[in-house]
Amino acid sequence: MFLVITLSGALFLLLAATRVPSIIKYFGNLQAAKHSEDLRPKLPSAARNITDNYNHLFEQPTLFYALVTYIYLMQHVDTIHLYLAWLYAALRAVHSVIQITSNNVSYRALMFIGSGACLMFMIAKEILFFLS
């Protein structure tokens, strides 16, 4: 879980480093960024990729945080859960690298599907625990 949290922090720093100068360059002040839907189309592509990726880290990963916390609190942590959690975190990190560099959607989709599959396997494992 800490890897995904660290990734979110690193993307925040990258977002700040790239977005604020772009806002100032194109608009002269930060007030022009009060509505992100107006700002995004005017940002350079690389800055938009970083912004989009930062937002993505607050979508699917929130389920990951809840799930690993639940598994820990229920004392269901085992080798399978650990491998799936680390694989999830690694796939999300690769997804981020792809999105902020080449932004190849085909490769990103593979990482998204793979990370989602990790979550689904972890959830299925918990369901099986209660059914047995």
Query: What per-residue confidence (pLDDT) applies to 93?
Result: 97
CA atoms of 104 and 95, how far apart (whole Å): 10
Task: Tell me if 23 sits within 8 A of 33, measured CB to CB.
Answer: yes
| 73-90: pLDDT as tens digits | 999 999 999 999 999 999
Query: What per-residue confidence (pLDDT) applies to 109?
Result: 98
Helix, strand, or coil here: 73?
helix
Query: What per-residue confidence (pLDDT) applies to 82?
Result: 98
Stretches where the chain sits below pLDDT 50 are: none
Distances (CA, A) of 97 to 1, 5, 11, 64, 126: 18, 15, 10, 19, 31
Q: Which of 93, 119, 71, 108 is nearest to 4 (CA)?
A: 93
Query: What per-residue confidence (pLDDT) applies to 32?
Result: 67
The domains of the chain are located at: 2-131
Query: What per-residue confidence (pLDDT) applies to 19?
Result: 78
pTM of the shown model:
0.89
Task: Tell me if 118 sits within 8 A of 87, measured CB to CB.
Answer: yes
Structure tokens at 5: 């949290």
Query: What per-residue confidence (pLDDT) applies to 84?
Result: 98
